[in-house]
Amino acid sequence: MHSIGERVVYGAGGVMEIVDLRDISVGDVSRSYYVLREVGAASMSETLIPTDNAALVSQMRPLLSSGELISVVRRAKAEPLPEWISDNRRRAESFKHTLASGDRCELMKMILSIREAGKRRGEEGKKNFLSDENAMRKAERLLYSEISIVMGIPFDEVGGFVDSI
């Protein structure tokens, strides 16, 4: 059971804080919900997760410790990057799957892979594909927001911190 004030990584939503535990009734049926709000977001929008829905609750993962996050980055940098998928649609589908998985090591390898592809394209006088850049930004938001909060580093400095590991 999670508690109010706890910070979690929720699905592809990034770092969220449980701000309330709310009972909501619809007709004669009442359900309890975790009320999540994205940490650091300008908006006050809330995500409601039914406490009795194991599939959704299982997507609420605890934040990793600073040591665990550093290990994730080091492991991702030490492992070979996945082979670049030349077909744009298949690559986008692969990125979508990685983002949905929330696997921090795979997110880091995805970021590194897109950066590397961007360097290669830059050497050819070309820019990275916009879809790849968007996927990288989503992966950075997911992973870097957790690193920022856990390590106490401003979000815009996390990229440099990750590069130094």
* Residue 52 included in any domain: yes
At 79-133, the pLDDT tens digits run 999 899 999 999 999 999 999 888 999 999 999 999 999 999 988 999 889 999 9
Last residue of a domain, one of 17, 36, 62: 62
Structural domain count, the chain: 2
Q: Please state the rounded mean pLDDT for residues 30-37.
A: 94
Residue 1 lies in a domain: no
Q: Which of 41, 62, 83 is the last residue of a domain?
A: 62
The first and second tokens of residue 39, run together, are: 């940490």
Do both 71 and 58 map to the same domain? no
Name residue 126's beta-bridge partners: none
51 vs 20: CA distance, rounded Å = 12
Are 138 and 155 in a shared domain? yes
State the Cα–Cα distance between residues 84 and 114, nearest whole angstrom.
9
Residue 146 lies in a domain: yes
What is the sign, positive or negative, of the torsion defined by CA atoms of 99, 104, 109, 114?
A: positive
Reported pTM: 0.86
Beta bridge partners of 49: 34
In a domain, 41, yes or no: yes
Average pLDDT, the chain: 92
